[in-house]
Amino acid sequence: MPLLKRLPMTAGLLAVALFVASCGGNQAAPPSSPAPPKPAASAPASATSGGIAAAVGSAAATPAASGKPAASGQVTKLKLPYTSPSAVYTPHWVGVEQGIFLKHGLDVTVPYLETNAVSPALLAGEIDISPTPSLLNIIVSGGDAVFIVNLVSAPVFSLYATSGIDSVKALKDKVIGDTPQGSAPDGALRALLSKNGLNPGSDVKYIFSPDPSTIVAAMKSNQAAAGILSAPSTVLAKQAGFKELASTGKEGVPGLHSVLGVRKSTLAEKRQTYVALVEAFREATAFAKANPEPTKAIIGKYTKTESGPALDEAYTAFQPYWEVGPVNPSDVMAALQFSSNPAAANFNAASAIDNSVIQAVK
């Protein structure tokens, strides 16, 4: 369904969400048993309608011929979801489409899965790797999980606002479109508000949605004065005439964005598998940074974005920040600062991290 036809349908749901947010509520708790992962085609709508241009789609659909299985001939299956149509997940998609994971002996699938379903799915063994910092809530509560590698050097989000809002400080007492609490955009938004002198817990209100098109719809219907977005969904805001107030990457906001987590109990047993995964991510990241055109085609496939300005913006926004590295305690501490979990106040950030995998990477 074309995106612009979908947007007006969200108003009723947003009114309910606004009422809940104004009463101090948050999104519903994650289900104890997540829904089955959706395929990439059913991910939230992205920046443009109509799918990918034929040439772009054909370029992205076929893995590179160089993606040969590991010399041993043994292949390990891994399920690694993504949680939004954001170009932050480009190395995941490049690893699949260019055959890089397969080259490292890994048969990786990358289904779409909503943020709130990721942690339960990981603990239940329905997925092998978590791609989202929302796993931190499970870790803080003593759950069987740990972060092993960071895939970006900083959170990369943009805060867009309606007319009349000329600064982040001007959002005091206003409503902001946000993703589910504990997600990467939510943590970055709260850190950005705090950096600009606002108390994210009391100075603003929120409406929550995992779908960026719903956030933009809230702004268009005047139910929200601003919204936190990730490229290429930022193009939706630009097309609606909204302006960027701030960029978390440019402002150096600390926190977690694209970070991989695994079950702690499997770390020793599957260490070499995880090492191979990180090695593959390094290769996929290097490919993405050095090859803009085929990489943009792959982004277009997974975000359902046509060739043109939206893909250019998505690539340009993230290319400087794709970087495989250790998880820093300071970024975990930044995420903990805004956690709703009472245990976060006294939690040791270093205990959420095991950098031994990336230290073992060649």
What's the pTM value of the predicted model, to 2 decimals? 0.77
Superfamily name with CATH number, domain 51-151+255-359: Periplasmic binding protein-like II (3.40.190.10)
Q: What number is the average pLDDT over the span 131-159? A: 95
Residue at 214: amino acid letter: T
Q: Which helix (H) or strand (E) holds 56?
A: helix 54-61
Residues 349/80/234/249 CA torsion (nearest 10 deg): 30
Beta-carbon-side half-sphere exposure of residue 19 (alpha carbons within 13 Å):
5
pLDDT at 70: 57
pLDDT at 71: 57
Task: Report the share of the chain in percent with pLDDT over 70.
Answer: 80
CATH topology of domain 3-23+156-247: D-Maltodextrin-Binding Protein; domain 2 (3.40.190)
pLDDT at 53: 29
Which stretches does DSSP call E strand in 96-144? 106-109
Residue at token pair 């990981």 = 122
277: three-class secondary structure by DSSP: helix
Residue 106 has pLDDT above 90, yes or no: yes
Residues 6+ apart with CB under 8 A from 238: 160
Least confidently predicted of 29-38, 89-98, 127-136, 353-362: 29-38
pLDDT at 24: 35
Beta bridge partners of 260: 149
CA 16/CA 333 separation, integer angstroms: 33
Residue 284 — very low, low, confident or very high, per pLDDT cuts 50/70/90? very high
Residue 68 has pLDDT above 80, yes or no: no
Least confidently predicted of 33-37, 42-46, 137-141, 251-255: 33-37
pLDDT at 50: 32
CA 339/CA 187 separation, integer angstroms: 8
Residue 297 has pLDDT above 90, yes or no: yes
CA 206/CA 200 separation, integer angstroms: 10
Q: What radius of gyration do the chain's Cα atoms show?
A: 19
The secondary structure of 176-195, three-state, reads EEECCCCCHHHHHHHHHHHH
Beta bridge partners of 152: 322
Q: What number is the average pLDDT over the span 136-142? A: 93
pLDDT, tens digit, for every residue of 307-339?
Answer: 999 999 999 999 999 999 999 999 999 989 888
Which one, of 104, 92, 93, 108, lies nearest residue 67 by Cα?
A: 104
- Two structure tokens written together for 320: 């400087």
Domain with CATH 3.40.190.10 in the chain: 3-23+156-247, 51-151+255-359
Residue 49 — very low, low, confident or very high, per pLDDT cuts 50/70/90? very low
Comparison of pLDDT for 68 and 208, the residue scoring more:
208
Cα–Cα separations (whole angstroms), residue 153 to 72, 125, 252, 264, 297: 33, 29, 10, 24, 23
pLDDT at 341: 84
Residue 131 has pLDDT above 50, yes or no: yes
pLDDT at 55: 29
How many helices (DSSP H) and strands (DSSP E) are in the chain? 15, 10
pLDDT at 22: 37
Q: Residue 232: is the preceding peptide bond cis (ω within 30°)?
A: yes
Task: Report the share of the chain in percent with pLDDT over 90.
Answer: 72
Residue at token pair 């920040």 = 321
Residues 6+ apart with CB under 8 A from 202: none
Cα–Cα separations (whole angstroms), residue 160 to 191, 238, 244: 15, 9, 4
CA 63/CA 94 separation, integer angstroms: 9
Residue at 198: amino acid letter: L
pLDDT at 72: 58
Q: Which helix (H) or strand (E) holds 317?
A: helix 309-318
What average pLDDT does the chain have? Answer: 84
